[in-house]
Amino acid sequence: MEVFSGRLRSSERRPLIGRSRQHRASLLDVRSVAGQVFLLQVVIVVLLVVAAVAAMVLQTASDAVQRGRRESVVAAQSFASAPGTAEGLRSRDPTAVLQPRAEEVRKRTGVDFVVAMSTQGIRYTYPYPREIGKKFVGTIAPALKGRTVVEQAGGPPLPAGKGTAVQAVVPVTDSRGNVVGLVSAGITVKNVAALWLPQLPIILGSGAAALALSMTGTTLLARRLRRQTHGLAPAELAQLYEHHDAVLHAVREGVLITGTDGRLLLANDETRRLLDLPADVQGRPVSELGLPEPITRLLSSPEAVTDEVHRAGNRLLAVNKRPTYPQADRRGSVVTLRDTTELATVSGRAEVARERLKLLYEAGVAIGTTLDVGRTAQELADVAAPQFADLVTVDLLDAVLRGWEPTAEGWRHLRRAAIGGEQRMIPVYPLGEVITFSHRTPQMRTLQKRRVLLEADLRQAHGWREQDPERARKALECGLRSLVTVPLQARNVPLGVVNFYRTVDSPAFQPEDLSFAEELAVRAALAIDNARRFTREHAMAVTLQRSLLPRAQPDQDALEVAWRYLPAEAGVGGDWFDVIPLSGARVALVMGDVVGHGLHAAATMGRLRTAVHNFSTLDLPVDEVLGNLDDLVVRMDNEEHAGDAAEGHEGDGVTGATCLYAVYDPVAGACAMARAGHLEPVVVCPDGTVRCPGVPASTPLGLGGYPFETAEFSLPKGSQLVLYTDGLVEDRTHDIDVGMERLRQALVGSERRTPEETCQAVIDAMKPSHSSDDIALLVARTRIFPPSRVAEWDVPSDPAVVPSVRARCRETLREWRLEEAGFATELILSELITNAIRYGVPPVSVRLLHGRCLICEVSDGSGTSPRLRRAATTDEGGRGLFLVAQFAQRWGTRYTTRGKVIWAEQLLHDGTSAIPTQTPVDFLLDQFDDPDG
């Protein structure tokens, strides 16, 4: 390969100089570059001259017109206001008077005409007498109203030329201000246009001078170019450069040239490919190119090299090096490189395989990190894009997202579950949208055939384009190119499809990509199916637990209640709560927690909640309720461990449960409470104080044989009692004391909130971002039964006082405006007092409570409870409690430390007792033959 230096010997220069002299006469030839540049300059100068002349003409004409307008107005106004003009217009012969004056003014002012006319526009003066007496050509209506009119209009011949360019019309008024005539003065177009002609030679002379300078400069530039190119014409230079560039970049050998200072002067395309050089490599030192050390050392040294083999990445290069310009001062080196192996192709395939294995490993780690179906689908999309595809969409059957078993009937309706990659650049169906695929789409075909499908060119995919023609057109315009759609199926159950798209910026999918896409989809399908099955079980457990929890607040007068229940993310637990109305307007509050999660814990919670309801119906003390509940848990645990009962269950028996049981009495404003291993409640006092009531801690349920301590304390009106489970305050990241302190801080200021607002404030402050346990929260604000709604008195143990008690009851109901409920109430009290006097033990007392319902209570010192029975026709008694049961909404007995209380409740509607109309009252009264009950 020859390398030409930039210097020429003296013997080589002579032909070029002679050639330059031969071409000197043709420097300005239009076929040469210099001639073409000169011709372009001539055209530019001519255009500039023409533009200057046009601009001058227009500007001069505009200035002349403006000046003509001013002169016309001045001349017309001067003549109109001159002495004698108004009298001349009124004279018998206005022309004889005004014509000499008008001609004198015209000649003195330089205007082309001065016309005096009547108010009808008849000329009295004109440069040509034959035009006098004719109609004036122009607008005179504004002038007749006293205004000046300036316009451009044509008219009869004038001495200066034909037609008027600018004329002004002004009114002539008398001493009273009346318009007696009009005066017009004007200048012709010919006079205006003549103003710019004297300036034309200056512009033409400037253009000629510019052309002379351009010609001189072009000649000098052409001579300088000839000297620098050694007499070579531009075509010859271009041909020389094209040959040099073609040879340099077309050879399959790398060529690079370095200078004496170690900088890279030239590198062809093959060199850049073999050495992975950047684009801006020219002029940089060899040591800064990031090449392997042996190659850097070889390029920096001045020694010649012949066929040395060096490794550059995965290539083996044969290197030859020779010095350039050996007899010149400017020395350098030229190096040739030749790829002697085919490692590039082999290593490329190995790199692709390595990347695929790496991607499969990442998919195994990144997909299925949670048991959420939507999140797992998004993980598949994020792993595949952009490493395998530019755009990835995952469409799942709606039943899969809900956790149900998918069926073939739902195949056509898939929901977009995840999108990964360039979804913002390419129009696709948005997340959450239900897509109805036609039978010809690749998605439906891959579901039906249960195998991967390839659409190498989406422009030819008619089924894909028919699904949504407009969206498909926009996607193709955005560069969408090819598609691989793979069915998602696990345990031979179809779950949906995953679509891998590539754009025109990436190579189209090839058949060898299908196996990798299928392997990726198989791994993701297993994770999605596991999440689906968990979703189904979680939904079943949540449904079961929510069905076992209270759905609405019961009617009661003691508390204003609000609650929250938040299931855990990993699965439901055994948290429960309850609000149970008791007799005497009292209310029981329950908060419990079964250890564990899942269906077993939820079912155990349901059994315990039902048991608490049953025990509370007996009106037992709070410690006895927890004692009975403890016995129940022990029996349940024994049943779980008996024989093979534990096989197939989620857990091994009842591993533990806690419970807090409280009874609030709104009449006394007192609360009795006991807790079995449960967290202590928090009380927010009306003055804003947040404190714990000091309820003694007892053992959790299920240990058996341990007593439960009861705490009794008063709660002022407006106090808030806060019950909760450990999921609210316990966390793996901090101690329970920290959670309790956060709860106290969240309750600060709750005295001004409603229970609903307090619940929301606590949840907002305490709810963790990822809850591992259920959270149950119950807030109850206390009410106090007003004394005016409570009537209580003692009854002597004498049947004769029953009528007086009934009368006192009647008077009380009259004060409460419950007269219509008097009959039923007196009947109930009469029966209960009679039974207490006859069968009970003194002291006997009566209490009436007026709230949502009317409550009648009769207490005595006996522990014997009456029972309802059917009396025979021959029995003298036994019908009293039957009457009480018929007239009361509910009735019962509760035991106290001093005896028992028999109570009955009547529902009130608008202040009246709601007596069932179907009660056979007349039949019962006919059967009632014992006045004392």
DSSP-based three-state secondary structure for 186: strand
pLDDT at 734: 76
Q: What's the pTM?
A: 0.52
Angle at 28 between CA 23 and CA 34, to 5 degrees: 95
Query: Cis (ω within 30 of 0) for the bond into 686?
Result: no
Buried-state track 379-418, b at ≥16 Cβ within 10 A, e below 16:
bbbbbbbeebbbbbbbbbbebbbebeebeeeebbebbbbb
pLDDT at 696: 92
pLDDT at 265: 77
Which residue's entry shows tokens 């709230």? Answer: 851
Which residue's entry shows tokens 């490794």? Answer: 311
925 in Cβ contact with 879 (< 8 Å): no
Which secondary structure element, helix H or strand E, spans residue 236, and what is its range?
helix 234-250
How far apart are alpha carbons 363 and 478 in whole angstroms?
28
How far apart are alpha carbons 472 and 433 in whole angstroms?
17
Beta strand pairing call for 559-566 and 493-503: unpaired
The CA distances from residue 153 to 97, 128, 133, 167, 355, in Å, are 27, 18, 19, 7, 88
Q: What single DSSP character describes residue 677?
A: B
- What tokens does 585 get? 């307007």
Residues 6 or more apart whose CB falls under 8 angstroms from that of 347 comprise 314
Considering only CA atoms, which of 678, 463, 723, 401 is closest in space to residue 587? 723
How far apart are alpha carbons 725 and 593 in whole angstroms?
7
How far apart are alpha carbons 459 and 727 in whole angstroms?
56
Torsion of CA 351, 354, 360, 365, to 10 degrees: -120
Torsion of CA 291, 294, 298, 299, to 10 degrees: 10
How far apart are alpha carbons 695 and 735 in whole angstroms?
21
pLDDT at 929: 45
Which residue's entry shows tokens 């419950």? Answer: 818
Q: How far apart are the first and last CA of the chain?
A: 136
Which residues lie across from 563 on neighbouring strands? 778
DSSP-based three-state secondary structure for 632: helix
Handedness of CA 725, 731, 737, 741 (dihedral sign): negative
Which secondary structure element, helix H or strand E, spans residue 348, and what is its range?
helix 343-366
The CA distances from residue 725 to 448, 566, 605, 771, in Å, are 50, 11, 13, 13
pLDDT at 1: 33
pLDDT at 873: 46
Longest dimension (CA), the chain: 159
Which region, left, alpha or beta, applies to residue 543 given φ > 0 means left and ψ of -120 to 50 means alpha?
alpha
The CA distances from residue 467 to 302, 429, 471, 797, in Å, are 68, 12, 9, 91
- Residue 280: CB atoms within 10 A of its CB come to 7
Alpha helices in 110-168 (DSSP H): 141-144
pLDDT at 24: 44
DSSP-based three-state secondary structure for 165: coil
605 in Cβ contact with 545 (< 8 Å): yes
Compute mean pLDDT per 10 residues along the chain, 933 residues long, and list them: 36 41 50 71 79 75 76 85 85 86 85 88 88 86 87 71 73 85 80 59 76 75 71 70 70 78 78 77 78 80 80 78 66 79 55 76 81 88 87 89 74 85 77 87 88 89 88 88 90 88 88 88 88 79 72 84 84 82 92 81 84 88 92 83 52 71 94 94 93 91 86 93 91 82 91 92 86 87 91 86 87 86 82 83 89 88 70 50 75 85 82 49 48 43
Considering only CA atoms, which of 912, 910, 793 is closest in space to residue 848? 793
Considering only CA atoms, which of 682, 715, 679, 722 is closest in space to residue 697? 679
Which secondary structure element, helix H or strand E, spans residue 675, and what is its range?
strand 670-676
Considering only CA atoms, which of 208, 196, 202, 114 is closest in space to residue 155? 114
Considering only CA atoms, which of 831, 834, 835, 813 is closest in space to residue 822? 813
- What tokens does 2 get? 């020859």
What's the gap between Cα 282 and its chain centre?
A: 48
How far apart are alpha carbons 826 and 887 in whole angstroms?
11
Which region, left, alpha or beta, applies to residue 222 given φ > 0 means left and ψ of -120 to 50 means alpha?
alpha
pLDDT at 580: 92
DSSP string of 592-630, one letter each residue: EEEEEESHHHHHHHHHHHHHHHHHHHTT--HHHHHHHHH
Residues 6 or more apart whose CB falls under 8 angstroms from that of 6 comprise none
The CA distances from residue 279 to 255, 268, 776, in Å, are 15, 11, 66
How far apart are alpha carbons 626 and 706 in whole angstroms?
10
φ, ψ of residue 758 to 5 degrees: the values are -65, -45
How far apart are alpha carbons 383 and 364 in whole angstroms?
10
Angle at 793 between CA 791 and CA 796, to 5 degrees: 155
Residue type at 745?
Q
Angle at 62 between CA 58 and CA 68, to 5 degrees: 140
Torsion of CA 597, 599, 604, 605, to 10 degrees: 70
How far apart are alpha carbons 219 and 213 in whole angstroms?
10
How far apart are alpha carbons 688 and 719 in whole angstroms?
9
Residues 6 or more apart whose CB falls under 8 angstroms from that of 637 comprise 653, 654, 702
- Residue 598: CB atoms within 10 A of its CB come to 20
695 in Cβ contact with 675 (< 8 Å): yes
Q: What single DSSP character describes residue 25?
A: G
